[in-house]
Amino acid sequence: MPAPVKKQVHLAAQLPGIHNVTVWSDPRSESQIAIDSFIRLAQTVERGKFDFFFLAEGLRLREHKGQIYDLDIAGRPENLTVLSALAAVTTHLGLAATVNATFNEPYEVARRFATLDRLSAGRAAWNVVTSHDAFTGENFRRGDFLPEADRYTRAAEFLTTARELWDSWSAGALRADAASGEFIAADAGRFAHRGRHFDISGRFTTPPGPQGHPVIIQSGESDAGREFAASDAEVVFSKHNRIDVAREFYRDVKRRLATYGRSPDDLLILPTANAVVADTDEEAAAYAEEISRELVSPQTAIAHLEAVWGRDLSAYDPDGPLPGIEPEDDAHFLKGHSVFRKDRAETARQWRELAEERNLSIRELVIEVGGRQTFVGSPQTVADAIDGYVQSDGADGFVLVPHLTPGGLDDFVDRVVPILQERGVHRDDYYTGTTLRDHLGLATAPRPAAWGGPGRPLRTGHDEKENTV
């Protein structure tokens, strides 16, 4: 009886621009905004044959007690501009960007992604996110005009409209016929959309890239977010890296696909994760503890606590016990941060129980709930853990977030990836094709624009489907 086919481990990398996951103050860190840093990390993970490189973003500088919250990274350049530059210095690596569907318009976003897909020869991906807060909206003079309950209905219509724009150019619409003098077909780019959130019509200027549509990514954890992922996304980012919770999330999202006529292979689930690699498990554990304390400084620990408690807790010792006072319903302490905005009283209750059970200080607690590294150990230990996670349906792979920029994934690429390749669960080259859809083993877009313009061979989809189950 033949051995069961192993699932492939999909790997991606994220250079974060928000949250305390990069230690910018470490002397080994280099510039957080210079293009050389982005290039070095992107080329490192392409050497490791990762699927894609991802950039997150926030649309407003966060504030803490009315002041700029500068304990984390701030001031990153705009995503699609950076990825367009990376398209010129990479050849296979997918290029994924967060672009907000609440404070943008379908026409401009569809045009920018069509451009990136063409510049990169079919490697673009869009992480579709929404915004809930009037604080961010002030940057766009929209305040809280959109009720939170409507943010996914707008996002769904936004995506539908963008797809209509990409499909407005047929495969043969770009003629460039010197004999007739016809450059494009008469109906090229014609569109009209009438809906609740968008009422637009006209001509779309940009022919789509080789993928037809960029790969669609979604990262919502709510029930509405999971449903949106099941209906429209092709990759889902998850925060679940505890195996039992991850498997439940995996099963829940995958089972929803059938409602929309989709199969489990049509959607990949990739939790974000960190990896700490050293010669031995003991050395890696010591290094991981050092990283955790860098990520959660005393100031960061108090700031996180204040965001949950809604009180000024600056008088408390970060190495002392949690405050005995109850939280207040005041969310102004950390504006522009979505992590602690819901169920804050319940979060405080759970934190207090954990702190009492394990006798944790404030800083130790914040490290425990959000500052621990996911995979820690020797190269063999880390490879075993990642492979086991994927083979047991906890995930389809991981988005790795380095704690140092730009060299934070060097050890993983040089020491863990070869082990995964030897096991046959991670590619040793980009054999399956040149587009991101090829790397991910995803179907071609519903109505592919299977061409690349004058002087470029036409593409119709996969060269060869990746061996995934």
Looking at beta carbons, which pairs linking 215-219 to residues 24 or more positions away fall under 8 Å? 215/52, 215/94, 215/96, 215/124, 215/125, 215/126, 215/436, 215/437, 215/440, 215/442, 216/125, 216/126, 216/128, 216/159, 217/54, 217/96, 217/125, 217/126, 217/127, 217/128, 218/127, 218/128, 219/127, 219/129
Give the distance from CA 97 to its chain's centroid: 7
Closest CA to 74 of 24, 114, 37: 24
CB 433 within 8 A of CB 443: no
User: Strand ranges (DSSP E) for 231-374?
Assistant: 235-238, 268-273, 275-277, 334-335
222 is in an annotated binding site: yes
Cα–Cα distance between 284 and 277 in angstroms, integer? Answer: 6
- Tell me the DSSP string of 442-460: PPPPSS------TTS----
98 is in an annotated binding site: yes
Cα–Cα distance between 71 and 73 in angstroms, integer? Answer: 7
Binding-site residues from annotation for FMN: 98, 152, 222
Binding-site residues from annotation: 98, 152, 222
